[in-house]
Structure 1
């Protein structure tokens, strides 16, 4: 990790100055569409359950006009409650200092939420890199179920994703907007941000590959075994 640490530190040193944050909270249309679909499914399931309950009650004993009215009220109440119930995406993302204390399995998703909250305040090249990092985090997330939280791999993941990545973006956010395109030490803060994010994106990809190495080796070994065992039979037939 020393090479990654050095590269990120070099990029951060390009602008480590007094600044004024410029927070932003962008919407992610595809994700919101998915959340809306899930809400509709829950509403539909709840309404159907109420109708079934009312039908069964009506078989046992006629529910009358008042029963029909109460059924409608119950359906409206459930619909409003589910529609207004806040989801995880509706809550503000965790602050950077909170990320480093999260459970390892939750870290990629929560780091992605924090990154997406900063996305709109970043220059276009950095936004593209943030999207690529988000994809890397989504790929990495299921792999962490098999990572020992007390192991060296977990420490590396926490350091890069839970500490250095948010600290790096946070440093840029504190740089005044008027200075972000001003060259300092051979690079502008905008360029240094993109360079650092590129380093992080590549390292997350490398982490994913290292964690998958055992499965890749097993797949290749099993494939060779199948070829040796069965390909000869096929040719003989």
Structure 2
């Protein structure tokens, strides 16, 4: 008799995968926080260097001219304060935008899509958390495989379409819906339910793409994508 996987055992496996995904996410967020603070410290260090430079110039000018007037001293202080405030705030910490996914190189695309999805996590309902974590797991599995694809091939085109078009379109179409309408039934289900279903489909498509790549079945990979576009993306836009 062939072994069969029961729904209960499949659910247990999925839950274990999700728990592993959350542990991985905690590590990624820790590294992301370190990078953000590193960027902020560089910004503050640059502001202090500018402040120090202004006062050195003012001190040198005072020694050469035999002192500075009260007005010049006040203006120099205000200038130093303004420069310090501007440089300690700008440039702002960079955030990945959906438009930038399309220009990412193929080896970077999976990681960029995962980081972009993390920035949108707070705008999504609690019911979507497991699906987002599952997408993160699948993207980590897919990332090293993308380096083996030809960037201009049909398989690469389908991966790009899924990660840089379908995924952002699904999430953004949900976030454009007013909050008070997201849990109201429309066309048989709520926008929140449609979002979760769409994210689960995307997670499944990423897993299938990864399996196709592991088997070297590029033709199968190149034919994927229209189901998701028809069932969820177009429907969400119409809604």
- TMscore range, shorter length: 0.5 to 0.7
CA change 1:135–1:92 in 2 (3 A) is farther
| Aligned partner of residue 200 in structure 1, secondary structure | helix
CA RMSD of aligned residues (A): 2.4
**Structure-2 separation of matches of 1:34 and 1:143:** 23
Partner of 1:123: 125
Partner residue of 1:149? Answer: 151
Query: Residue 94 of structure 1 corresponds to which residue in structure 2?
Result: 96
Which of 174, 177, 198 is equivalent to 1:196?
198
Match status 1:174 vs 2:176: yes
Say which of 208, 211, 225 aligns to 1:209: 211
Greater RCO, CA 8 A, separation 6+: 1
Aligned residue-pair number: 138
Residue 114 of structure 1 corresponds to 116
Unaligned runs of 5+ in 2: 1-24, 36-91, 218-239
Match status 1:183 vs 2:185: yes
Q: 5 Å matches for 1:1-237?
A: 29-34=26-31, 91-214=93-216
1: CA distance between counterparts of 2:34 and 2:171?
Answer: 32
Separation in 2, partners of 1:157, 1:122 = 23
Question: Unmatched 5+ residue regions in structure 1?
Answer: 1-27, 39-89, 216-237
Cross-structure match for 1:81: none
Query: Deviation above 6 Å: which 4+ runs of structure 1?
Result: 35-38
Q: TM-score, normalised by structure 2?
A: 0.53
